[in-house]
Structure 1
Amino acid sequence: MNPLRFSARRLSTAVAVLGLGSVLAVPSAALGAPLDAADTGSAASTASAQQSSPQLLAKAQPDECFAGIGLPYPAGPPCATGKTKVNQAYLWGMTRVGKMLWFGTGANVNCLTSGRALRNTTPTVNDDWVCEYGESQVAKRNPQLPPILGDHRQPRLYTYDTRANKLTEKTDLIKAASTDDANRLQTTAGIRAAGSFGGVALLGGPALGTSVNLFAFDTDTGAFLGSRNFPMYGNIRHFTVAGDALYAGVGVGANGGERGNVLRWTGSKSDPFAFTVVANLPAQAADLTVHQGRLFVTTWPGSDAELAGPTAGAVPPPPSIAAVWMSPLLASGAPGLNPEDSDGWQQVWNVSAYEPDPVVARAYALGGLASYGGFLYWGTMHVPMKATTVHMATYPPADEAAAQATIQNTQRSISIYRGRNFGSHFEKVELLYGSTELPAYDPAANGGAGAWALQSTHQTPKFGPAGFGNPYNNYTWKMVVAGGKLYVGTMDWSYLAKELGKETATELGLPQLADELAEAPMAAAGMRASALPDAVYGGDLYAFPSPTKPATTVDKTGLGNYLNYGIRNMVADGPTLYLGMANPMNLRADPTDDVPEGGWELIRLRGY
């Protein structure tokens, strides 16, 4: 392996690969017909009960052959001609029922997001991945499909028996059930969310239009129960069980960018798609958990469309800001949350309590959260270069020096918080990892020319600097408690930084600032370019051993594969963790070279 290698890539693809939302606009006429795509791939179990942790349990397998942009796909795999390709990129939604994991995938998430959010339809290929857009064979066989969706491939659904170490694919059950079920699966961008309760597993995600598709299974028998399209919602990210009920967080409108709801599942095996709205929120729900008798939700504000600029005829989403919301008590009134609780939620924190620059604050999102040791923990999420892009659009720099200042001063890595006694006189929120001061822009300074200056965040981090000391940690993707410890899984974009900086500089018309962009997170953190070792690519995993101690590093190299740039999902079974990895490097499928393979991975970590 050669972890010091960087790959050439376009800005639009590189930004998109970072895992932005992937609800994809498509004409309604395109939703009625299944896509004529090859569907030969599968995943393989790779662990035995005797292996020590971390164990690679299963991984996406090659499912296509690639001979060049716009060319027919050769037969295979195995591929007698062309390059082997693995389309399934993310282990996205995952839930556990006893010793059985239920999960689903997302294919070529980087290409789909680049097309939808950045309106990029120029085919691109590099050593790591290819995005064909309208030149793909899928697009050519389906002329009703917009070019931005040319790299869409059907997601897959699986179970993994953790006792027998057996992977079973469930995709064909859906395809064989009915034409409607098969079409819904084919037009689902990816299985982004999964939850289970009452003998039913629900898995689903954003559809290729502005809606959500859900698929239901009987967890006792493994049978497929049916599917349903929900046209009133545009995104779904997570489920959670609180008390004696299952809840889901959703977004309304394209990519969920208009507002959010929390839904309570009121279904059964005979009626698995019954929900009622129990929260009305100003932004889409990102993650949710139960804490001290209430449900808490983090939000993801606005729409990713702002990265691409306004679309003709479209109304821009209203400004919103990422926040933590608290429900009424689950025990008040009727058990659990009910429709009468929809407008009774309270915002208990938002990012303006920490971030002094209002434009940068709009680029924040919130991710994973968990209840641990009497506290609620949560963390931020930052799409690389997004704050820079938004700030330059709001306050265009007058010259190169001003551009350099904007680049450096808009960089943020994740900050981690905890709080307790919300809504009472004893409420307290602590910054655990973050900064005591951050740069903020004053457009009125210097006689209206504007200037950046450090401003206090009015907080001192209890344990350490932002990003757990790694300025390239940009997503707090998931938190989970296992074996008495709180685990935090991140996305680390250091693998992309060098070429992303180069391509971003070119797109901004500032190619001479490529190095500044690549090293901007380190410069913003006051670190030398050599201070962060190159060979730490891959998503990071940290563990708080107790509420009184700082987090320790479990792994900072993608759990054995540095192309795993993020830990997208985690579920716990006692002290054991199951991790779903994000890895969209679809051309990294040669086990004989010195680079690890692309595609999703399922990993078990026993009692660290």
Structure 2
Amino acid sequence: MKINKTIIVSIVGLMTSAGAFGGNNSMPDRTDVKDFCSVISQYDKTGDSKPFVHFVTTMWPKLNTVDGREALVNIHQLAMEEESGGYGAAYVGKEDALAQLLELLNKMGITGDDLTKMLEYMKKVYPLYVFQIENRVRPSVDYDNGLVVDTIYQAPVDEAYYGLANEKNKYVPTGLSVQELEEVESNGGRGKRNGSYVWGMGTYKDKLFWSTNNNYLCMQGYGNFVQPGVGDNVPYENSCWTCEYGQSAYAKEAYPDGDENSKYADIRPPRMYSYDTKSGIVTDITPSMDEYPVLKNCQGLRSCGIHKGVVFFGGPGLYASDWDSRVSAAFVAYDADCDRILGVSSMSDVDGCKVVNVRRWRVINDVLYVTVGITHPTTGKKIGALLRWYGDKKDPWNFHIVGLVDNEAAELAYFNNRIYIGTWGTVSAVHVSPELPKEGFTPVGIDSDMWPEVWTSYAAEPSNTLGRSLTSVAGFHEWRNHLYWGVFCPNYYVLSMAQATYGSLTSPDALAFILGNYRTPSFWRLDKDNSYEMLYGDTTNPKPVYDKDGKIEKWELEPNGLSAKWGRGGFGNLWSIYIWAIQEYDDNLYVGTMDLSNLAVAAGSNILGDVGFATLAKLLTGLDSSDEGFELLRMTDEDEAPKFITQNGFNNAEQYGVRNLEVLNGKLMLGSASMSSLKPNGGWHVLSLADARTPASVSQSSIKKPGIIMERNAEYINLATVGGERITCIEVYDAIGRKINSARPDSHLASIPLQNIKGVHIIKITSEKGEWEVKADL
């Protein structure tokens, strides 16, 4: 859009005639003035002044006053005037808009040099900012969705927290009692929920199983996201969570003096749970860390697979990266029928390969498969593999490689009688298998051909940019006539690279780098001919142009030749970075996301972080009216855009992600992610969703809500009520119905000694809220 020459002359006249900056030496020249207005008119295609005003007042908070914002609105309107329009009726009496701005700048002590700096931001950053925020139209909200949502269980309050690195902090893995928490609060402390993610989830008969991780943003590497320029191992606390690293009281308990690995102390060993929907009993089935120390050396248990009564949990190694880990991944095998641990393994030798990561399990035609990352035994190259389970309860660790892909194998689906694998890597891809034989795939050699690609991240972004290299396949599921998937865009890595490259997050070059590489997740589908379609995503992406010295000179928008069927990436939400879980339920497709908006605000307020983070968070958040918390969407027709079921984590802003979706007894079970360990509604949650309008859904009364949490060790079964109400009676019966023990605890806690009890028994628990019954092999 050309700017009116009359306007330019008028602006220049106002600039040169006003003594706004205390002398001609501090005045910007005519070129600066023309460029300033040209940038606005060139990139504000909608003519909306809000982005411009928000951008300028974020970068220069002194202008964030009533007068300052009004002056900026006027100057924006002035710059946006059509060449043939002149000032128009709207500008009668407002010809002094620029003079008003300059006078205001002068009063605030902002000089011509400041305006020159502002112009640099306008040239380098503003175009990328406008690109990121424009045309972000969101799906509609299905307010009449018919879903009944219940909280099944929440990460327990498992630590008495008195402050950052306070020696009184006390970690209790199975959770604090109500009385213990009241005592902590009366002594000036508060409860902390270390559990971050429901990282793995699966179903078996009437039971739901899940596994967790703890304080995941305290993992090595994430410090550069939260504290750019400070990095890992410097303890910090913000409004949502805290990381104490090696200075925590727990570190001193769990690690010997001087142990360098105490920096991993926040990543407490993972927990495992089961929920019996018929009895209403939640059981902590975590094995002893002393008996199985490999669990101390993993980031958490990020996946769950179940077949023939065996529940597998698996997660990546703790130290260093997934690929260069000093320890392999960690796996647990659990007998779902007899409620016992079958064993723990590092899977360090599967067909001569070391398994270092694991993501998805799937039973296909009565065969259990799992996607893993492995290291080639001779080249050491990182590749992905599909493993098939040949074991049973007596031999749970009998796995073999049946397929290979060229990057870490992550997502797994079965569509059109083929297995599809989505990968993570610098070029992520969707790979397809040959047709699946009736008996399933059989073992292959480590140097066998890789499965071919049917989609890569090149499709969305032809140039090799940092933004593209951080894009990985996620959220994989078949539905009706298509295979659907999303991607993960870990934009926090862009922050650390900007800080390392430019020493700042808010210089013009650093902000341009961040906004130029910032991506929101695209959403795709594939038909039976392996032709793909982009449903949500960007049709152009910023691409850096380098000078002769290899420095970024400018950014250009590069088209990818695609069209987006329904809208921009992230379902229109700038803070959505992950399409994390997809699942079919009642013939509809449900899609869950990760929304980082509340984390960004918290990190921006971090007491030790770069103050530039707060500026960046405000810049990207100010025009985004998104409610904090994850989004859950539902598709009911392949030809219609999905609709939001919730945009705010079902009114819980602390729940930033839908990590897992499973179907159990006619309900959709949701496992969430949250880093808000210091918030009452923080920590992971397990939710159930049922469509009351659909006959296939089970009524609310047919699944018993949890009332008792149970944990056992070699000597006792420990019981506690979920809601803190008193247990009034406990009765223990043997297999033929004889009562062999009873007690009246009159407390929300109770223990059953196991020294003289063996075999299968029935435990009946009565509390102030109801009765529960559990079958236990004692």
TM-score range, shorter chain: 0.7 to 0.9
Decide whether aligned partners of structure 1 residues 273 and 598 sit closer, same or farther in structure 2, where only a CA change above 3 A counts. Answer: same
Q: Secondary structure at the residue paired with 1:139? A: helix
> CA offset at residue 391 of structure 1?
6.9
2:386 maps to 1:262: yes
Query: In 1, Cα distance between the equivalents of 2:607 and 2:419?
Result: 40
Provide the residue aligned with 2:453 in structure 1.
347
Provide the residue aligned with 1:150 in structure 2.
265
1:129-165 Cα deviation digits (max 9, x unpaired): 1211111122223123524212132211111122333
Decide whether aligned partners of structure 1 residues 451 and 139 sit closer, same or farther in structure 2, where only a CA change above 3 A counts. Answer: same
Residue pair 1:57, 1:165 contacting (<8 A) in 2 also: no
Decide whether aligned partners of structure 1 residues 459 and 238 sit closer, same or farther in structure 2, where only a CA change above 3 A counts. Answer: same
Query: In 1, Cα distance between the equivalents of 2:505 and 2:629?
Result: 36
> CA offset at residue 448 of structure 1?
7.5
Residue pair 1:498, 1:515 contacting (<8 A) in 2 also: no
Q: Counterpart of 1:107 in structure 2: which amino acid?
A: N
Q: Counterpart of 2:249 in structure 1: which amino acid?
A: Q
Query: In 2, Cα distance between the equivalents of 1:65 and 1:206?
Result: 28
2:598 maps to 1:483: no
Aligned pair partner of 1:299 in 402, 417, 423: 423
Aligned pair partner of 1:73 in 122, 144, 168: 168
1:518-576 Cα deviation digits (max 9, x unpaired): 434x7xxxxxx43x325x10111111112111111111111331100001111123752
State the Cα RMSD in Å: 3.1
Aligned pair partner of 1:540 in 601, 609, 631: 631
Query: In 2, Cα distance between the equivalents of 1:199 and 1:506?
Result: 48
Most deviating of 568-577 and 387-396? 387-396
Most deviating of 83-92 and 140-149? 140-149
2:690 maps to 1:606: yes
Provide the residue aligned with 1:238 in structure 2.
360
Aligned pair partner of 1:203 in 309, 313, 316: 313
Aligned pair partner of 1:418 in 516, 522, 525: 525
Residue pair 1:433, 1:464 contacting (<8 A) in 2 also: yes
Q: Secondary structure at the residue paired with 2:355? A: coil
1:337-357 Cα deviation digits (max 9, x unpaired): 532695241111111111244
Query: In 2, Cα distance between the equivalents of 1:607 and 1:552?
Result: 15
2:400 maps to 1:276: yes
1:197-220 Cα deviation digits (max 9, x unpaired): 122111121233431111111222
Provide the residue aligned with 2:302 in structure 1.
192
> CA offset at residue 398 of structure 1?
13
Residue pair 1:161, 1:167 contacting (<8 A) in 2 also: yes
Q: Which runs of 5+ in 2 are unaligned?
A: 1-145, 171-175, 226-230, 320-324, 349-353, 693-778
Decide whether aligned partners of structure 1 residues 404 and 71 sit closer, same or farther in structure 2, where only a CA change above 3 A counts. Answer: closer
Residue pair 2:213, 2:267 contacting (<8 A) in 1 also: no
Percentage identity across aligned positions?
29
Decide whether aligned partners of structure 1 residues 465 and 449 sit closer, same or farther in structure 2, where only a CA change above 3 A counts. Answer: closer
> CA offset at residue 515 of structure 1?
3.1
Decide whether aligned partners of structure 1 residues 432 and 123 sit closer, same or farther in structure 2, where only a CA change above 3 A counts. Answer: same
Query: In 1, Cα distance between the equivalents of 2:512 and 2:150?
Result: 44
1:212-250 Cα deviation digits (max 9, x unpaired): 111111222222211112231221122111222111111
1:28-61 Cα deviation digits (max 9, x unpaired): xxxxxxxxxxxxxxxxxxxxxxx97211011111
Provide the residue aligned with 1:472 in structure 2.
575
1:153-201 Cα deviation digits (max 9, x unpaired): 2211111122333211112xx229xx542x2333332111100112211
> CA offset at residue 400 of structure 1?
3.7
Residue pair 2:238, 2:606 contacting (<8 A) in 1 also: no
Q: Counterpart of 2:484 in structure 1: which amino acid?
A: Y
Residue pair 1:257, 1:283 contacting (<8 A) in 2 also: no
Residue pair 1:95, 1:194 contacting (<8 A) in 2 also: yes
- The count of residues paired between Structure 1 and Structure 2 equals 510
Query: In 2, Cα distance between the equivalents of 1:559 and 1:371?
Result: 26
User: How do residues 168-567 of structure 1 correspond to structure 2 at under 5 angstroms?
Assistant: 168-171=283-286, 174-175=287-288, 179-181=290-292, 183-209=293-319, 210=325, 211-231=328-348, 232-252=354-374, 258-301=382-425, 320-331=426-437, 335-339=440-444, 343-359=449-465, 360-387=467-494, 389-390=496-497, 400-421=507-528, 426-444=529-547, 450-500=553-603, 507=610, 514-516=614-616, 518-520=618-620, 529-530=622-623, 532-533=624-625, 536-567=627-658
Residue pair 1:505, 1:514 contacting (<8 A) in 2 also: no
Provide the residue aligned with 1:111 in structure 2.
218
Q: Counterpart of 1:338 in structure 2: which amino acid?
A: P
Provide the residue aligned with 1:60 in structure 2.
155
Query: In 1, Cα distance between the equivalents of 2:413 and 2:343?
Result: 27
TM-score by length of 2: 0.61
Q: Counterpart of 2:155 in structure 1: which amino acid?
A: A
Query: In 2, Cα distance between the equivalents of 1:545 and 1:345?
Result: 32
Provide the residue aligned with 2:274 in structure 1.
159
Structure number with greater Rg is 2
TM-score by length of 1: 0.77
> CA offset at residue 402 of structure 1?
3.0
Query: In 2, Cα distance between the equivalents of 1:146 and 1:518?
Result: 36
Q: Which runs of 5+ in 1 are unaligned?
A: 1-50, 302-319, 523-528, 590-596
Decide whether aligned partners of structure 1 residues 252 and 588 sit closer, same or farther in structure 2, where only a CA change above 3 A counts. Answer: same
Q: Counterpart of 2:401 in structure 1: which amino acid?
A: V
